[in-house]
Chains A and B, each alone.
Chain A
């Protein structure tokens, strides 16, 4: 059996913003957000797509649809998109990441990792921990670098930035 390869892909057919984008991390059995998203009912899927665009366009958190955890000391970078389908609460957990700190430091992406079904408002911290473990993993960072190489143009390589002299 070939080794699992972790991949990052931007959510297709979504209007990604000029400073924000949403994508899935996949390639491991724990990373089920993309698969569960693909299997959502049509309206629920549209609802999540619309929420992703709402966030990507710069929209502030709407606790019933998507939000971060800025006040959580441990999982400050975690993020969740929510949707309801036939009384089931879908949660797509991920984390916020700055993929191009050198070439485009304002760009922020939401890397969705795992899916959960919830019927209570409270977030399960075990899920946030799993997401945070993926955030810290080398495999995830390598996968994101394929999409966002963060390379400077040739003419700037090796030059000392005048702002830093």
Chain B
């Protein structure tokens, strides 16, 4: 077996195994959260605990009917999603379904495409925010009411570094009542990202 590509690259069966295992991982995580045992699940499904364990321990080839049956018994729904990740030869393998779930949740769980289009903040569309009269380059990765979480890129040019240091002196990073608080690394090294929570006004967000 060559050590290149992804383990699901050569066989449809392996790909099916991988997505089945990801699916049952979602079920097991749900069972863990809701404290539902395998025997509880078996009782709900009117199956033996052995059969449920078999599916969860070795989810080889699950039918769509079985997927829905198990998910529904845990209060979950199922969508079958086809996507294009620019990897037509599947050299990288499938993307975890949790990525799709989290992305959907981050968009406030839209129920149709209109709601997706109307979502106020598209993360990729706000590469720069204005903070303390300074444009900050960074990736916005979360937004709550009145606050925005930015993965801040450290400045590359030395004059920019000095300028930003004026705006972000080390004591300022640690002040609990400061406008910006570090959530991650207090003194970020060059080219690393620091995480800021900055209170912003919408008009200060540059698209």
Contacts and interface: CB of A to CB of B under 8 A. Distances in A.
Interface string B151-187: 0001000100110110010100000000000000101
A163 B168 CA distance: 8
A83 B18 CA distance: 14
Contact of B22 (A50, A162, A165): A50
B161 A50 contact: no
Given A13-B4, A15-B92, A62-B32, A54 B190 contact: no
Most buried by B among A15, A102, A165: A15
B164 to A, nearest CB: 8
B3 A12 contact: yes
Most buried by B among A44, A83, A165: A165
B58 A53 contact: no
B63 interface: no
A164 interface: yes
A27 to B, nearest CB: 18
A59 B102 CA distance: 11
B29 interface: yes
Contacts of A51: 21, 25
Contact of B192 (A12, A43, A105): A105
Contacts of A12: 3
| Consensus secondary structure, chain A interface | loop
Interface in B132-157: 154
A64 B98 contact: no
B131 interface: no
A64 B28 contact: yes
Interface residues of A, number: 36
A60 interface: yes
A136 B29 CA distance: 32
Nearest to B102: A58
Interface in B1-51: 3-7, 9, 14, 17-18, 21-22, 25, 28-29, 32
A57 interface: yes
Nearest to B10: A13
Contacts of A54: 21-22, 25, 96
Given A44-B58, A54-B25, A59-B25, 17 more contacts: A13-B3, A46-B18, A49-B7, A50-B22, A53-B93, A54-B21, A58-B96, A64-B56, A84-B58, A156-B190, A161-B187, A161-B190, A162-B165, A163-B168, A163-B170, A164-B187, A165-B165
